[in-house]
Amino acid sequence: SDYEHLTYPREADEDDIRDLITMYVEAAKRAERAGFDIIYVYGAHSYLPLQFLSKFYNKRTDKYGGTFENRARFWIETLAAVKRAVGERCAIATRFAIDTLYGPDGVELGDDGLKFVELATKEGLVDLWDVNIGDIAEWGEDAGPSRFYKANHQAPWVKDVKRLAKVPVLGVGRITSPDDMVKIITSGQADIIGAARPSIADPFLPKKIEEGRLEDIRECIGCNICISRWEVGGPPLICTQNATAMEEYRRGWHPEKFDKTKQPCSVLVVGGGPAGMEFARVLGMRGYDVHLREATDDIGGCVRDIMRLPGLAEWGRIIAYRRTQLGKLKNVEVHTSVGKMSANDVLSYGADKVVIAVGSHWAVDGLSGITHAPLPGADARLPQVLTPEQVMAGKEVGDRVLVIDGDGYYMGVSVAEFLADKAKKVTLVTQLASVAKYTHFTLESPNLHRMMHEKGIHHYVGHWVEGLEVGNEVKARLYDVFRDGFRRTTEPRAGELPRRRGTEVKELRVDSVVLVTGRLSNHELFSELKQRKAEWAQNEIEAIYHVGDCYAPRLIADAVFDGHRLAREFESADPQHALPFIRERQVWGHATYPALSAGAR
């Protein structure tokens, strides 16, 4: 981990090692008693067996270190002990990082990796090989994001294990497509396919393949937003494709089952972005009469631009899945190229209920969450200043470009790469301690920094922009976010800053500036409709809601979730706001909170 230097283990003596092996055995016995048929001795992601085998970690000089045979000893002894304890009833599997990608300093496929497969095979200790690559220090090499790792990227390593092993081999590596799965099995590359993230995106993936319902599969997009949630250490994971992930128990949501509405009515959905598409899909599954109206020539919203950025084409699956599902629902109509709907258009449409899902936009004045104010001199109406939408729409960009990234996720660095690929000289500035800091949690950060180095994208971290001076060229004044110093006043006075005011700046001269600062909801339509609430009843409209980025800008996964949740809870007393979790509803009781009894699922 990034923080392993905060503690350092002592070297285990032989008594410790015997205790460790006993712990593995006792854990295996508990698993057997619990009824498991396959028990793993896990040796990937820097788990202890791999640390013993790897020269990178193992610096011992006794019988558990040094030579290959000594470094393999702990793993072999553990496998043998577990096999003796539970092997008559349970199959023994081991997950093995066949190559830690450290070169000769670690475990290499052509050296210790295959030698260990041969040794364990000779001893008859393994009933299933589960093969991956990489190390916990950069486990994106294994759980590879689609930006850098394409389908079946671990094939060169897996196939060599299959050649030596005499038992089934399981392979992984961004295997999401049923077609790829068939090729992997029929070609002899592997016997079993591991699909963790694809199963989060669609828990019924195997069943849909079995039934030939390939068009109904929610294919993983490889964004790794699922991984980011537990890397951050926050709430349960989310999934951009599957809003029900981790909500099966606490909200009672089944990914494939939707309660039919007992209050059928017609619903107008204005906007076909991630939230609007998902809301219309789920509401259609529930039996409502849904009209989805999209101003542009296709549904997808912001994803249409995002999928054109380098490495993000697979994000287009967000649209592809929902387009297919919406097309299968006879009670859902999708209308594109209708132009922007006005409040009058909405009021006179004839729907019983309305949901506004018109998304958000990047600030044209450099407004950000850093200063909570527009950036002096920034104006995307000028030729030299652009937003990401304008870049993707083809607005002219000069040769020297400054990308101001206050977002800290994928957009700033992706626009920078997009322009670098067009031979632009790009500099990126961010107030954060590293570029695209959130991508640390999606496992993209190491390769993003390598990419910037290879493509010559210069960057300033821990800096922000004091202002822009726009003329024939743009002068950008950059400052260190810590320039005010650390000494705080001991005599606070109104109107005076608590620290000295730093004045040091760096001046950059560029031809164009891209503002990836803050996003603002497109709230005007909903706000006007809310102001004209007295006219709703006159037009026989029961309610109007807003959803997704239109409500508040957020991650795509959260926008999809918001649309899904609103559709699930459309009959609750206040659909705009989420129902408490099932546990809270049980604790509080419907007698105390009768409004919570409706629309539970």
Nearest Cα neighbor of 208 from 169, 176, 172 is 176
Structure tokens at 373: 């104010």
- When pLDDT is averaged across residues 505-523 and rounded to a whole number, the result is 98
Using alpha carbons, select from 478, 503, 480 the residue that is nearest to residue 433.
480
Structure confidence by residue, pLDDT tens digits, 122-157: 999 999 999 999 988 888 888 999 999 999 999 999
Catalytic residues: 47
| Positions of CATH 3.40.50.720 in the chain | 266-359+522-570
Q: What is the pLDDT of residue 1?
A: 58
Q: Name every residue whose Cβ is closer than 8 Å to that of residue 340 and which is 6 or more positions away in sequence.
A: 295
Beta-strand ranges (E) seen in 431-518 are 458-460, 463-470, 474-480, 506-510, 512-516
For residue 435, give the nearest of 448, 422, 425 by alpha carbon: 448
Query: Looking at domain 385-485+502-518, does it have CATH number 3.50.50.60?
Result: yes
pLDDT at 594 > cutoff 70? no
pLDDT at site 598 = 47
Distance CA(84)–CA(434), nearest Å, equals: 50
Q: What is the pLDDT of residue 597?
A: 47
Domain 266-359+522-570, CATH: 3.40.50.720
Please count the other Cβ atoms lying within 10 Å of the Cβ belonging to residue 561.
25
Q: CATH 3.20.20.70 spans which residues of the chain?
A: 4-194
Partners of residue 182 on adjacent β-strands: none
Does the structure show a pLDDT above 90 at 297? yes
Per-residue model confidence (pLDDT) at position 592: 54
* One-letter amino acid for residue 226 of the chain: C
Query: Which structure tokens are listed for 132?
Result: 């991956």
The percentage of the chain sitting over the pLDDT mark of 70, rounded to a whole number, equals 97
What is the band of 591 on the pLDDT scale with cuts at 50, 70, 90? low
Average pLDDT value for the chain: 95
* For the chain, percent of residues with pLDDT exceeding 90: 88
Fold of 4-194: TIM Barrel (3.20.20)
Can you give the pLDDT at residue 600? 40
pLDDT at residue 6, rounded to an integer = 82
Query: pTM of the predicted model, to two decimals?
Result: 0.94
Please list the residues that pair with 458 across neighbouring strands: 427
How many other C-beta atoms can be found within 10 angstroms of the C-beta atom of residue 187?
11
User: What tens digit of pLDDT does each residue of 313-328 get?
Assistant: 999 999 999 999 999 9
Q: Which residues, 6 or more positions from 98, have their beta carbon under 8 angstroms from its beta carbon?
A: 107, 109, 113, 114, 117, 131, 132, 133, 157, 158, 160, 161
pLDDT score at 306? 98
| Poorest-pLDDT segment among 4-18, 105-119, 177-191, 320-334 | 4-18
In the chain, list all ranges with CATH 3.50.50.60: 385-485+502-518
Query: How far is Cα 143 from Cα 307, in angstroms, rounded to an integer?
Result: 20
